Amino acid sequence: MVPMPSPATAPPPPASLKRIVTASLIGTTIEWYDNSFDHSIGAATCGFL
């Protein structure tokens, strides 16, 4: 029988967690503006179908 590695890992250190949260916030903001722009252009060019 092959031993399985333990899935439990230590939580990331606070500095790493801050970096992860910051990157997630930036990515979400960019995605939100991208989707808003796409929807605005689509509505302006296609009108109501």
Range of the domain at 28: 13-42
Phi and psi, residue 28, nearest 5°: -65, -40
How does pLDDT run along the chain (49 residues), one tens digit per residue?
A: 666 666 677 776 778 889 999 999 999 999 999 998 888 888 888 876 5
In a domain? residue 3? no
- Using the CB atoms, write b or e for 32-49: b if 16+ within 10 Å: eeeeeeeeeeeeeeeeee
In a domain? residue 48? no
What pLDDT shows up at residue 6?
Answer: 66
**Residues whose CB falls within 8 Å of the CB of residue 20, separated by 6 or more in sequence, listed in order:** 12
Q: How many domains is the chain partitioned into structurally? A: 1
What pLDDT shows up at residue 4?
Answer: 63
Q: From its phi and psi, is residue 4 left (phi > 0), alpha (psi between -120 and 50) or beta?
A: beta
Question: Within 13 Å and on the Cβ side, how many CA atoms surround 22?
Answer: 6
